[in-house]
Structure 1
Amino acid sequence: MRQALDGITVRRHDGYVAEIVLDRPAAMNALNTAMAESIAAACADIGADRSVRAVVLGAAGTKAFCAGADLKERNAMTDAQILRQRGVFRAAFGAVLGLPQPAVAAVHGYALGGGCEFAMSCDIIVADETAVFGLPEVTVGLVPGGGGTQLALRRLGAGLAADLILTGRRISIDEAERSGLVARRVPAGQARAAALEVASAIAANSPVAVRAAKRALRNGWGVTLESALDIEDAAWRTAALSGDRREGIAAFADKRAPQWPGE
């Protein structure tokens, strides 16, 4: 299945993996208003589809995953229009961050500003040798607004987050890998294939357990260890009392592949 929306393309793979492709390569996949609306709509549809077990967020072209907001569009806007666009952009970033299924970013080339934020909104970042990350908003009089300040703080730690955000500097794949931002590094041109492989591996597991584990990982950010362990316990109970747990243990005992009911 392939569906073209304004600025993105949505594909379905192997029945269980959905792929959202940022598809404005001539503009380095820069985020404009129409594209943001499409991303929010696509994520709403995918998030509500119980048959989707994992999501890949990738990009068309060879130069960039996403170079950030479309400043050419924004340059022609009034303050009132920029504020209206702000709500649309927040909805797009929030939709990616809020996907109930695990999301894997497939990054090549520039992932700057909103592009870096989209990648950080995913659970796992797969990047190739060409990837360059950055949050350069302060260099054009802005502050990261797609979750960048908070996601960088949580994923990179206070020191490196402040370094990147306050200087606006870019980091190569080497530093991104060392910092833990990138989970998997692959050769140039292989990010999409590798991300789809990761998503397929996720999709082969219990959908109930995977969703519950994602909730535990996300909701455990920024809370006390005691609270985080309660969050983990709730996730464990969800999985342990599900049809998936019963099928998983039965399949293990029978030495066969599980047929997940997804209940």
Structure 2
Amino acid sequence: MSAEGAVSYELRERVAWIGLNRPLKRNAINDALLSELEAAVRRAQHDARALVVFGHGPCFCAGLDLAEHRAREAAEVFHHSRSWHAAFSVLRRGRIPAIAALHGATVGGGLELAAACHLRVADPSVFFALPEGQRGIYVGGGASVHVARLLGASRMMDMMLTGRVLDAAAAERAGLVNYLVEAGAAQDKAGELAAKVAAMAPLTVLGVLQALPRIQDMAEEDGLFVESMMAALAQTGPEAAARLADFVEKRGAKVTGPSET
């Protein structure tokens, strides 16, 4: 494992493990961490079939490192925000699924990072907040789009206007958390999910990661057209033919109920 600097990187079979590595700063994001994170995610796109983002130490990420925050002109703030968008876009628009394994504080920019991943696994210690409103600033790492789409604009308004904090159970009910697990089990569950999605057919993954988010922004007929195009591409590939044959000939696993898995 490469653990030097603000981000650690480890490749375990087909899964890249990317760790925020400023535990004494609660993994607060400064420019160095953001740069190393983007580089690690880019590396994972070539090394792996899935990636897990997690935090070393007591929490996932406490957000922007305000201790290193300095006064900026409006244009500088704009471009700094856009640098966060660019870094997180490598996660969102990359070729492999990204899973966030969450524990402890997942606040501000930490929540924005978690929202940039495709799936989120949380243990009961997790809490989510957007404290920017209480500090007289505004979110700048993509929350207005990505967190609001997960939670709904009304819930995000509540968090920003009142400082409301969501625990893991409330976040799961609101749709922010995909999996709620026992204490200390977030990384294990994230690894299990990453191994599962790493085994998926590449064309199916391409459709889920690249087509599905874009379809949400399309008019109904345009979205249905793209769905049909993606279905035609995926279902005529050689891997799909082999997997469908396995299912028809009873070599493939059947879908079972939640209590049976």
TM-score (normalised: structure 1): 0.87
The one of 71, 75, 94 equivalent to 2:66 is 71
Aligned AA (2:85): R
Match of 1:93 in 2: 88
Q: What is the 5 A alignment of 1:1-263?
A: 2-4=1-3, 6-13=5-12, 15-47=13-45, 49=46, 52-62=48-58, 64-75=59-70, 77-79=71-73, 82=77, 85-253=80-248
TM-score (normalised: structure 2): 0.88
Unaligned stretches of 5+ residues in structure 1: 259-263
Tell me if structure 1 keeps the 8 A contact 2:125–2:183. Answer: yes
The separation in 1 between residues aligned to 2:2 and 2:248, in whole angstroms, is 41
Aligned AA (1:93): F
- Give how far 1:250 is off: 3.7
Tell me if structure 2 keeps the 8 A contact 1:215–1:235. Answer: no
User: What SS does the corresponding residue of 1:222 show, helix, strand or coil?
Assistant: coil
- Give how far 1:19 is off: 1.4
Tell me if structure 2 keeps the 8 A contact 1:24–1:60. Answer: yes
The separation in 2 between residues aligned to 1:131 and 1:230, in whole angstroms, is 40
Aligned AA (2:48): V
The separation in 2 between residues aligned to 1:192 and 1:39, in whole angstroms, is 18
Tell me if structure 1 keeps the 8 A contact 2:121–2:178. Answer: yes
Tell me if structure 2 keeps the 8 A contact 1:154–1:221. Answer: no
The separation in 1 between residues aligned to 2:163 and 2:93, in whole angstroms, is 26
Deviations 1:160-202 (A, max 9, x none): 1221233332111121011111111011111111111111111
Identical aligned pairs, as a percentage?
35
- RMSD (Å), alpha carbons: 2.1
Tell me if structure 1 keeps the 8 A contact 2:81–2:141. Answer: no
The separation in 1 between residues aligned to 2:218 and 2:246, in whole angstroms, is 36
Regions of 4+ moved over 4 Å: 80-84, 253-258
The separation in 2 between residues aligned to 1:144 and 1:56, in whole angstroms, is 24
Aligned AA (2:190): A
Unaligned stretches of 5+ residues in structure 2: 254-261
- Give how far 1:249 is off: 2.5
User: What SS does the corresponding residue of 1:105 show, helix, strand or coil?
Assistant: strand
Match of 1:261 in 2: none
Tell me if structure 1 keeps the 8 A contact 2:97–2:118. Answer: yes
Tell me if structure 2 keeps the 8 A contact 1:219–1:231. Answer: no
